[in-house]
Amino acid sequence: MEQGFFTAEETRQLVPLCRSLLRYGRGVVTDDDFSRLRAFVKSAVEADAYKRDRFGLNPVLRNLAACELLCERLSPDRNMVVAMMLYNPFRRQFISREQIVKEWGSDVAKMVDGLNKVSTLYSRHTLVGSENFRNLLLTFAEDIRVIILMILDRLALMRAINHHPDQRQVSDVAYEVSYLYAPLAHRLGLYSIKSELEDMSLKYTNREVYTQIAHKLNETKTSRDAYIDDFIKPVKEKLEREGLKFEIKGRTKSISSIWNKMKKQKNDLENIYDLFAIRIILDVPREREKNECWLAYSIVTDMYRPNPSRLKDWLSIPKSNGYESLHITVYGPENKWVEVQIRSKRMDTIAEKGLAAHWKYKGIKSEGNLDAWMNNVRDILEAAETGPMELMKNMRMDVYDKEVFAFTPKGDLYRLPLGATLLDFAFSIHTNVGCQCTGGRVNGKNQKINYKLQSGDTVEIFTSTQQVPKQDWLNYVVTSKARNKIRVALKEQESRVADLGKELLQRRFKNRKIDLDEAILSKVIKKLGSKTVTEFFTRIADGVLDVNEVVEAYVAATHVTEDGEKISASEYTMQPTTTEEHAKTADDVLVIGNNIKGINYKLAKCCNPIYGDDVFGFISSEGVIKIHRADCPNAANIKEKYPYRLIKTQWSGKLGSQFGATLRIVGNDDIGIVTNITSIINKEKNVTLRSITVDSNDGLFQGYLIVGVNDTTSLNQLIKKIKTVKGVKDVQRSK
C-alpha cells in the first residue's frame, strides 16, 4: 500500500482488518480474489483514486470495516465484498463499468452501479429523514444487497467517528442513521445491528443521557447478573428434566431501548424493571419447533406468574421480516417483571443476522410498499449450498416501481405516481406554480410541460404571469390534484369570460331600452343552441354569437297585447284547431307517416309552420309528434342527431282555422307608417292581426307582427302588399 496515504495509526489498523476479513471470508472469497483485490486497491491508492471523506477518514479502512461486518455479522459474500472495495475507485473513474464486468462479473457491476446511484442522492442536500428520501433510496438501490452494504457502511462510519471534533457533522450522521438506516435494519431483521446503530445515535446526539444510563448499568451489573442466575437456575433444571436440548442466557437491553422506555413510562432507570431479557434457545428439528417452544412456555409460566397482556406470539404469525419468537413477561423474584424469549436455533440465527442469512427468492413482484415486499421474501431456507447472499442476486428493490421521485433545485423531494409529468410536478409544488407553468428545465435540459418524469430528476419550473391553464392540459396530467386544479381554473376562466358576455348583452339591452326578463331569456338561450347560461354568455364574449342577433331573437320572443301587456310568443294561447294541438277530426289538415290521419301533434314553436310550408314530423322525448318547417333553424341538428325519430309529414285538405305567422318589418320611423301597415292587414280577407310590437332607434323602427293566415299563399300576398308601404325597407317571415 502507498505509505503516504496511510498514517501510522491507520497502518496498524489495516493489518488486523485484512486478517479478520481473510478469516471470516475464507471459503467464499478465494485467495486469488484477495490477491487481485489487494493489487487493485494498491494501484488505486497510488493513482489517488481513493479520497478521504468529509470526516477525514481513510476510505480503504472504512470499506474494509464494512466488509468485515458483512462476513462476521451476516454472511460472507464474494461479490458484495468486491463491490464494496471497487465502489470508491469507480466513482473517481479509475475503473469503468466495462472493466468491472470483464474482470469481476456483471453482478459486481450491478451492485457498484447501485452504490453509485445512491451516493448521488446525498449531493442533492435533501432531507434525509423524510419518507420520500427512503423510498427513493430503495428505488435507486434496486438490489437489496446494496441496501445491506449501505447499512454496514454506516455502522462502520458510526464506529469511526466516536471522538470526531466536528460535533455538527457527527450529529447529522447520527440523525440520518436514526431515521433511515436503523429502521431499514429493523425491517430487514438485522436486530443486533439496528440496536448498535440506535445506541450510537443516542450517544452522539445526547451523550449525557447515554453516559448516565451506561454508568448505572455498569454499577448494577453484578447484582443484575446474580438476579439472572437466580431466575435461570430453576427454569434450567425443569427444562432438563423434560429432556429438552437448549441454551439459556440473559442479556441487558440496549441503552437506546431503555431510554425509550424511560420516556414512554416517564420513569427513572430505577423504576424500569424489565431492563433485561432471558432467552431460551431450543436445539430442535424444524418440524418440532412450535411444539417445544410452547412446552418451554408452559414450564416458565408454571413457575412464574405471566402477564397475559404482554404475550407476543410471533410463532403462529411471524413478523413481515421473518422474525419468529415467543415473548412472555413474568413476575419474577423480588417482585420484578422479566421478559422471556423462547425460540429455536434457526429462529435465533434469523433474529441475530436477519433474513439476509436465509432468504429464498421466489420471483414475486412488489405489491407497492416495503412491508408487502417483505412478506414476499419471508420464506426461509434451513441451508443453502451456494450461500445465502447468492440467493439474493435477483431480488430487486422494486417496491416503489409505481412511483417516481423528483427533486427541486433546492433539494426538496416530491413523490408522484408513475407517468407523472412536469406539469404534475408544478402543481405538486403549488397551485399557482402549476397554473402559470410554461415548461421547465430537467437535469439541465429544457423540457415541455408534458415531459414524463423519471426518479432522480431535478426539475426547475418556468412560469409566466400571462400563462393560463388550457383544456388540453387535462391530457398531460395523471395526479388528481393537478386535474382538479386545472378544472377549477378552467371554470373560473369561463366564468370571467361569461361575465364579460353578460355585461355586453346588458349594456346593449340598456341602449335599446329593453327590460330583461329572465324567463324569456332562458327560452332564447335554449333556442340559440346553448346548453347552459354560462356557455351562452361565453359565446357572446367570444363573438360566436352576435349580440345584435341575440337582442333581435329576444324581441321576437316578446310581444305586446292590445292593452300594452307584454307576453311571450310561446305563452300566446292558440286554439287547438289552429296552431297548437290538433285532435282527430274528419278534416285533419296533416297526413303523418303512411297516409295516417287523426294523430295528435303540435306545431313547433321554434319555426311556427303554416299550411303550405315544407314540413317534417319529429317524435319528441315526451312521445308527442312536433311539426317543424323544413327550413327550421333546428332542422339540421335534429336530422343529424335523431334521424330515427323523424316521420314524413305533408299537408292534406284545408281547415277553416288559421295559423299564426310572425313577420319582421324594418323601415323608417315615419309618422303613420305603423297605421298604414295595420290598415293593409285589416283589409286582407282571411288575415287577422293578433299582436304587434315596435321598437325604434336612430330613425329606424323594427316591428314584429303575429298574423293569422290560412296558408302560405295568403302570407306571401300579405308580405308583398306590406312592402309597398312607403318607408318599409324589408319584410321577412321570422324563423
656 has pLDDT over 80: no
Helices (H) and strands (E) in the chain, counts: 26, 24
**480-511 confidence digits (pLDDT tens):** 889 999 988 888 888 888 888 888 888 888 88
Q: Facing residues of 693 across strands?
A: 704
> Among 37-46, 294-303, 578-587, which stretch is predicted with the lowest mean pLDDT?
578-587
- Residue 139 has a pLDDT of 63
Task: Give the residue with greater pLDDT, 265 vs 42.
Answer: 42
Query: For residue 602, what are the β-bridge partners?
Result: 581, 626
Q: Is the pLDDT reported for residue 668 higher than 70?
A: yes
What's the mean pLDDT in 415-431?
90
Q: How confident is the model at residue 610 (pLDDT cuts 50, 70, 90)?
A: confident
Cβ neighbors of 308 (< 8 A, separation 6 or more) are: none
- With cell 428520501, the residue in question is 133
Mean predicted confidence (pLDDT) in 147-173 = 90
Give the pLDDT confidence of 67-109 residue by residue, as tens digits: 999 888 877 888 899 999 999 999 889 999 999 999 999 989 9
pLDDT in tens, 428-479: 999 999 999 999 999 889 999 999 998 778 899 999 988 889 888 999 999 9
SS3 for 402-461 is CEEEEECCCCCEEEEECCCEHHHHHHHHCHHHHHCEEEEEECCEEECCCCECCCCCEEEE
Kindly indicate the confidence band of residue 272, based on its pLDDT and cuts at 50, 70 and 90.
low
What's the average model confidence in pLDDT over 522-542?
83
Tell me the torsion sign for CA atoms 236, 237, 242, 244: positive
Task: Evaluate if residue 200 carries a pLDDT over 60.
Answer: yes
Q: Comparing 99-103, 508-512, 613-617, 713-717, which segment has the lowest mean pLDDT? A: 508-512
Structure confidence at residue 116 as a pLDDT band (50, 70, 90): confident
Q: What is the predicted pLDDT for the residue at 130? A: 56
Model confidence band, residue 575 (pLDDT cutoffs 50, 70, 90)? very low
Q: Which of 324-338, 394-408, 502-516 has the lowest mean pLDDT?
A: 394-408
Q: Give the CATH number of domain 403-477.
A: 3.10.20.30
Stated pTM of the model? 0.51
| Closest to 323 (Cα-Cα) out of 296, 354, 286 | 354
CATH class of domain segment(s) 215-353:
alpha beta
- Whole-angstrom Cα distance, residue 138 to residue 145? 11
pLDDT for 406 equals 83
Does residue 725 have a pLDDT over 70?
Answer: yes
pLDDT for 222-258, tens place per residue?
888 888 888 999 999 999 999 999 999 887 778 888 8
> How high is the pLDDT of residue 500?
86
∠ Cα 31 33 35 (to 5°): 70
CA distance 705 to 341: 101
Buried b (16+ CB within 10 A) or exposed e, 499-529: eebbeebeebbeeeeeeeeeebbebbbebbe
Kindly indicate whether the domain formed by 3-190 is annotated with CATH number 1.10.3210.10: yes
Section 301-327 average pLDDT: 86
Percent of the chain residues topping a pLDDT of 90: 21
Segment 372-382 mean pLDDT: 36
How high does pLDDT run on average in the chain?
Answer: 79
| Mean pLDDT to the nearest integer, 594-605 | 64
The whole-number pLDDT of residue 546 equals 82
DSSP one-letter code for 54: T
Q: Is the pLDDT of residue 298 over 80?
A: yes
- Greater pLDDT, 673 or 591: 673
Evaluate if residue 726 carries a pLDDT over 70. yes
pLDDT computed for residue 89 by the predictor: 93
The x, y and z cell numbers of residue 315, run together, are 410463532
Mean pLDDT, residues 166-186: 86
Q: In what order do the strands lie in the sheet with 728-733?
A: 688-697, 700-709, 659-668, 728-733
Q: Directed axis angle between helix 191-205 and helix 255-265, to 10°? A: 70
Give 623's pLDDT tier (boundaries 50, 70, 90).
Answer: low
Instruction: Specify the pLDDT at position 598.
Output: 52
- CATH of region 559-565+658-735: 3.30.70.260
Band (59; pLDDT cuts 50, 70, 90): very high
Report pLDDT digits (tens) over 675-693. 788 888 878 877 887 777 7
Q: Pick the more confident residue, 30 or 450.
A: 450
Unique residue bearing C-alpha cell 347552459: 532
Instruction: Say what the pLDDT of residue 686 is.
Output: 77
Torsion angle, alpha carbons of 174, 179, 184, 185, to 10: 40
DSSP string covering 608-661, please?
A: ---TTS-EEEEE-TTS-EEEEETT-TTHHHHHHH-GGGEE-EEE-S--SS-EEE
Is residue 677 within a helix (H) or strand (E), and if so which, with residue range? helix 673-683
pLDDT at site 62:
93
10 by DSSP, 3-state: which? Answer: helix
Please answer whether residues 407 and 459 qualify as being in contact, where contact means their C-beta atoms are separated by less than 8 angstroms: yes
